[in-house]
A and B are shown apart, each in its own frame.
Chain A
Amino acid sequence: EDQVTQSPEALRLQEGESSSLNCSYTVSGLRGLFWYRQDPGKGPEFLFTLYSAGEEKEKERLKATLTKKESFLHITAPKPEDSATYLCAVQAPFGAGGLRGSRLTFGEGTQLTVNP
């Protein structure tokens, strides 16, 4: 069974204080690892997809990295508007037959608060 564990559950930072969020996973046949950002009362917003160990992607103050067992989301010099819950999800082939779907298995998320 696919499993995703995120840590810490909550993180409080001062504006400008860099840090990292962790996502550990167990999956059979990883097709992709995804990072989403979710604001209260809204749907998850796509950030990054990582496909293979060693891959890195950056977007503004965010950088995502991937190893064979975990992924990190590095936040450099965060601002208050970066406050949100960050969700990690893994995607693996699911189902049988010629057209196999890909469900996402999510972690519980890290609730990030950045104080001014």
Chain B
Amino acid sequence: KAGVTQTPRYLIKTRGQQVTLSCSPISGHRSVSWYQQTPGQGLQFLFEYFSETQRNKGNFPGRFSGRQFSNSRSEMNVSTLELGDSALYLCASSLLLGTDTQYFGPGTRLTVL
């Protein structure tokens, strides 16, 4: 069974630009969560999607947004990029909302110059 896939794996952007990251969950998984990982803050929850609806959101500014499609694939968007947005963005999928194990993808490394 294929794992969680994320594209692209690496991105370099400049301040003020916007970026879209993509995540394909494990086949059959319907819940997708996004996390930001930085050396200073560790792994922090961004948002969670289930049935094409955002169910929960972490403490991030409105520049961070996302969506989920009917096939459970998800995208997240960051607008007006700032230097501090440089991070590893991780997507995790689980079978259903609120159930146990979340399985992570390899992440997208975003560098903002």
Query: Residues of A with Cβ closer than 8 Å to B?
Result: 31-32, 34, 36, 41-46, 49, 87, 89, 91, 93-95, 99-109
- Whether the pair B48, A101 counts as a contact (CB closer than 8 A) is yes
Which of B4, B42, B44 is within 8 Å of A109, CB to CB?
A: B42
- Whether the pair B42, A102 counts as a contact (CB closer than 8 A) is no
B44 closest partner in A (C-beta): A106
Assembly CA distance A49 to B101 (angstroms): 7
Residues of B within 8 A of A107 (CB): 42
Main secondary structure of the interface of A (DSSP, over half): strand
Residues of B within 8 A of A108 (CB): 42
B39-69 vs A, CB cutoff 8 Å, 1 = contact: the mask equals 0001111001010000110100000000000
- Distance in angstroms from A85 CB to nearest chain B CB is 10
Given contacts A44-B90, A94-B56, A109-B42, contact A102 B104 (CB under 8 A): no
- Whether the pair A49, B100 counts as a contact (CB closer than 8 A) is yes
Residues of A within 8 A of B100 (CB): 31-32, 49, 91, 102
